[in-house]
Structure 1
Amino acid sequence: MKDLSQGMYDTMTSLQQKIDASGGVLNMLRASPMGHAVFPGIPAEFTNWRDEQRAWHEGVVLFEQSYHMTELHLRGADAKKFVTRFATNNLSDLHPLRAKQMVMVDEAGFMISDAILFCETDDFLRVVGPPTASNWLQYQAEKTDLAVEATRDENMIVPRERRDVFRFQLQGPNALSLVREVAEGPLPDIKFFYVGEFKIAGQTVRALRHGMAGQPGFEIYGPWEAQAAVRARVEEAGAAFGLRKAGAVTYPTAAQESGWMPRPFPAIFRGEDTRGFREWLSAKSFEGNASLGGSLVSDDLTDYLTEPYELGYGRLVHFEHDFYGRDALMKRKADTPRAKVTLEWNNDDVFRVLQQSLRIDGPRTKFLALPIPMYATFQYDAVQVDGRTIGSSQWLSYSSNAGALLSTALIDPAEAQIGREVTLMWGEPGSRRASVEAHEVTGIRAKIAPVPYFEKSIKKD
């Protein structure tokens, strides 16, 4: 294992060079000090995260998306043909004012990323989501023989004056009523995952109908210069509907109750089929700075990979078209995937860990920050029964609506009985990351609960 200074890392130009200099992918990721993702552009809390969370159950919440998500713009006569090569989805019905959740895998069928694909016109697509999706598609676009051009509308982790569009979501039981109130004229009948166009405060906007926290809602976007007028109108009218704006600490907790896995470990870190991508991607990219943490420690990189079936994306795998990774997914179709479940952590054990993490008279436990205890880009905590590891917990946050810490886990399907008690191992044994304090790993009891934790109502009117 090599011990490299940051100055030496700065001489690395590509992700592959950084991996090689680190002595391998796992060494690189386990040494990275990177913690949980930063959500720029907005305060940590507009009011307080407890009530901001409750808003998507009791009223309506505004999720700000203008600053943290990457957009890749694909333009050209072959734009749709190009994305079809990399999407597991059936995109034959993709047309203007239509959107899709796009799922991408590597040659072995493991997840690279997912993102939302907006069809603005026949020759203009927006890919909106994490940088892992845009990075992969931008690389493929630069070497394709198809008539497509990729341009980047980067997120605002590095601040700048403007982006192409502003974007926010309105979610909750009062979201539809609020949008009807602010829309000028009758609100178009927008089907689930379709896009409608209308005006707010005299400004033309578009809205995608979907849900983020398991509640009905709209993702509204429009020209950057139109946002001040649109926001003012929405906030003015929203007071009567219980509107709260979600801050940067609240936003990432919205996925927990719906069971969406926001950040699967990308398969680009392994395999010769993705080596060209790693040699193209910057060492200072999201992937190059990412960290791997938690109590599940393995020397086998594949133990951290996921595939579409176990993440609930089986319905988005369409074998009637050719796509990257199709043959591998076809072979795996008959396999029994790990079961995706919610873990409801035991409050007494959580309080014990919090108390022991602050002690000065003995060994400490790993601190539990609320509402997001995650302390790595990719967090994997071992889930055990009677000392046997049956799976891993990957995304976790406190839910004011559940009154408990929840995490999304992938476990052996034979062990996935609702209500069963398991033990989550909390901590990072032998951590080499300066951002992780000295501590002892401890067990936290948890109860297996459904995914989603609450019944979804996103398709209801």
Structure 2
Amino acid sequence: MSVNQHPRVLLYPRIRKSPFFYASRRHGVAMYSVYNHTYHPRHYGDPIAEYWALLEGVTLWDVGVERQIEISGPDAFDFTNLLITRDLSKCAVGQCKYVFLTDQHGGILNDPILLRLEENRFWLSLADSDILLWARGVATHAGMDVSIEEIDVGPVQVQGPKSYAVMRDLLGDAVADIRYYYLHDFQIDGIDVTVSRTGYTGEIGYEIYVHEASKNAVRLWEKVWEAGQAHGLQVIGPCHIRRIEGGMLAHGADITVDTNPFEIGMGYDWMVDLDQEADFIGKQALTRIKAEGPRRKLVGLEIDGPDLGTYNDGSMIDVLPVHAGGTRIGEVTSACRSPRLAKNIGLAMVSVEHSEVGTALQVDVGARDDSGSDLVSAVVVAKPFIDPTKEQPKSDVTALDASAPRRTGPVAGG
């Protein structure tokens, strides 16, 4: 029997379409996946070229799969504070926060961006899980006056060092006033949009949330594309090489409901505020887990052996077992070849006794394509692999020389 290494994904009415589906497919989508029950463009033919386009220029992404859940009503603040592990009183109107939603056992249900639009109106820009159902279930028993709806709002991302130039042409000089992880409302040719300085890249970037997306999304896409032509805008899929370099988490891979925030490391402990007066779902369990200490840790690995690909190219179809002393002690959850580092890198969940930087391990890279066991050497390294203090996305956009390429590393473009 032969294995078809590249089966097609069926496009048909049963699976939802992003509001930008018919716009983004015009640019030659080469691979789709399904995210939040919705078709999602993964790349347009050359993920390595897309990586360099992100680092050196400006890119446009269809991320309409990030469904927007709006929480509103008189008790919206208290209800939202019940869902998330951070202290919502520290989030001002007009601010965004990266948050965890945990269950009663402390497991991570989702890691959305939270946007606070008004005192009692919030959006959760979701990763891949059914939080609308969860939130409505919680609301049924919460006894609070709150409305929870999936709203007709769809985001696109404009990312890369020239993203400010594109956004300035679209919105005017006022876009310079949007600070990192803040938002502002604008109009683009009569289309209402909310713009935040956020993104899934570790680069300078913005997300444009188009209102009445079912009506306006394609026209908004065309406006962004038109504004980007003078700056070399390219349409790409989510750049997993860059997000792995930056230690950014993928829900369903690096974190799941079986992962708790204290296993992640990398400074994410501050995302669980156990000292706040308010309660939240999972607080009791996470208090216990913190006191006992986690049994596993998500670590960075440098991995020897063959090129591990770009993660979003079908080269990693399963987790990669991690071994120490002949015993499986964890698994690589995301891996790729970093062009800048000229190394295979990955995020791996391993037993805590094997999580110290410098620990020698082995990774079974044969598991990535079902080719059998193929153990190669690996070593635990600090993560994020690049820009650990996130200086790049926080850069002063008005001072950025957008024409200066930032390509570094021993292998230019490859």
Give TM-score, length-normalised by structure 1.
0.67
How far apart are 1:146 and its partner, in Å?
0.5
Instruction: Determine the structure 2 residue equivalent to 1:443.
Output: 375
Structure 1 position 417, deviation (Å):
5.0
Higher relative contact order (CA 8 A, sep 6+): 1
Match of 1:344 in 2: 302
Query: Which whole-Å deviations, capped at 9, do the CAs of 1:387-424 have from their partners, x for residues lacking one?
Result: 24443211234444444443211334554454654211
The answer to whether the 8 A contact 2:33-2:41 is kept is no
Query: CA–CA distance in 1 between the matches of 2:129 and 2:104?
Result: 20
Deviation at 1:171, TM superposition (A): 1.7
Secondary structure in structure 1 of the residue aligned to 2:201: coil
Q: What's the CA shift for 1:251?
A: 4.6
Give the equivalent residue in structure 1 for 2:58: 60
Matched, 1:374 2:316: yes
Question: Using the alignment, how far apart are the partners of 2:184 and 2:194 within structure 1?
Answer: 6
Q: 2: distance between equivalents of 1:62 and 1:400?
A: 21
- Cα shift at 1:52: 0.9
Deviation at 1:41, TM superposition (A): 4.9
Task: For residues 214-249 of structure 1, give each alpha carbon's deviation from its aligned partner in whole angstroms, at most 9, with x where no partner exists.
Answer: 1121111122233344333322332343422113xx
- Percent identical among aligned pairs is 25
- The two structures have a TM-score, normalised by structure 2, of 0.74
C-alpha contact 1:62 1:246 (8 A) present in aligned 2: yes
Equivalent residue number for residue 45 of structure 1: 43
Deviation of 1:46 after TM superposition, in Å, equals 3.4
Does residue 214 (structure 1) correspond to residue 167 (structure 2)? The answer is no
Matched with 1:332 is 289
For residues 349 and 369 of structure 2, what CA distance do their matches in structure 1 show? 27
User: CA 1:172–1:187 in 2, change beyond 3 Å: closer, same or farther?
Assistant: same
Name the CA shift for 1:330/1:373 in 2 (closer, same or farther; >3 Å).
same
In structure 1, the gaps of 5 or more residues are 1-35, 154-163, 268-304, 355-367, 429-435
What's the CA shift for 1:175? 1.8
Deviation at 1:75, TM superposition (A): 2.5
Aligned to 1:94: 91
Q: Are 2:121 and 1:182 aligned?
A: no
Structure 2 distance, partners of 1:395, 1:133, is 23
User: Which 5+ residue runs of structure 2 have no aligned equivalent?
Assistant: 1-31, 397-414
Question: Residues 342 and 310 from structure 1, CA distance in 2 versus in 1: closer, same or farther, beyond 3 angstroms?
Answer: same
CA RMSD after TM alignment: 3.0
Q: In structure 2, how many angstroms separate the alpha carbons of the residues matched to 1:168 and 1:79? A: 26
**Distance in 2, Cα, partners of 1:106 & 1:371:** 32
Q: Distance in 1 between matches of 2:167 and 2:394?
A: 16
Classify 1:419/1:244 alpha carbon distance in 2 versus 1 (closer, same or farther; 3 Å): farther
Deviation at 1:91, TM superposition (A): 0.2
Q: How many residues align?
A: 350
2:273 is paired with a residue whose SS is: coil
Match of 1:109 in 2: 106
Mapping for residues 24-173 of structure 1, pairs under 5 Å:
37-38=33-34, 41=39, 43-46=41-44, 48-66=46-64, 68-129=65-126, 130-153=128-151, 164-173=152-161
Structure 1 residue 372: deviation in Å?
4.1
2:393 is matched with which residue? 458
Alignment-mate amino acid for residue 350 of structure 1 = P
Cα distance in 1, alignment partners of residues 231 and 209 from structure 2: 21
Q: Which amino acid aligns with 1:340?
A: L
1:96 deviates by: 3.3
* 1:448 partner SS: strand
Q: Does 1:311 align with 2:253?
A: no
SS of 2:364's equivalent in the other structure is strand
Change beyond 3 A, Cα 1:369–1:47: closer
Matches of 1:194 and 1:317, distance apart in 2: 21
**In structure 2, C-alpha distance between the alignment counterparts of 1:369 and 1:398, rounded to whole Å:** 9
Shift in Å, 1:82: 0.7
Q: 1:44 to 1:394 in 2, by over 3 A?
A: closer
Q: Alpha-carbon deviation of 1:139?
A: 1.8
SS class of match (1:193): coil
1:2-36 CA-to-partner distances (Å, cap 9, x unmatched) read: xxxxxxxxxxxxxxxxxxxxxxxxxxxxxxxxxx9
| Cα drift, residue 452 of structure 1 | 1.3
Whether the aligned pair in 1 keeps the contact of 2:210 and 2:220 (CA below 8 Å) is: no
Aligned 1:221-370 pairs, distance under 5 A: 221-223=209-211, 224=213, 225-247=215-237, 250-264=238-252, 266-267=256-257, 305-312=258-265, 313-319=268-274, 320=276, 321-337=278-294, 338-346=296-304, 349-350=305-306
* AA of the residue aligned to 1:170: V
- Asked whether the equivalents of residues 397 and 406 of structure 1 are also in contact (C-alpha less than 8 Å), the reply is yes
Provide the rounded CA distance (Å) in 1 between the counterparts of 2:264 and 2:155. Answer: 26
> Partners of 1:46 and 1:37 in 2: how far apart?
13
Change (3 A) 1:42 1:336: closer
Name the aligned partner's letter for residue 57 of structure 2: G
How big is the shift at 1:167?
0.9
Deviation by residue 1:302-337 (Cα, 9 ceiling, x = unmatched): xxx321122242111112121112122223324444
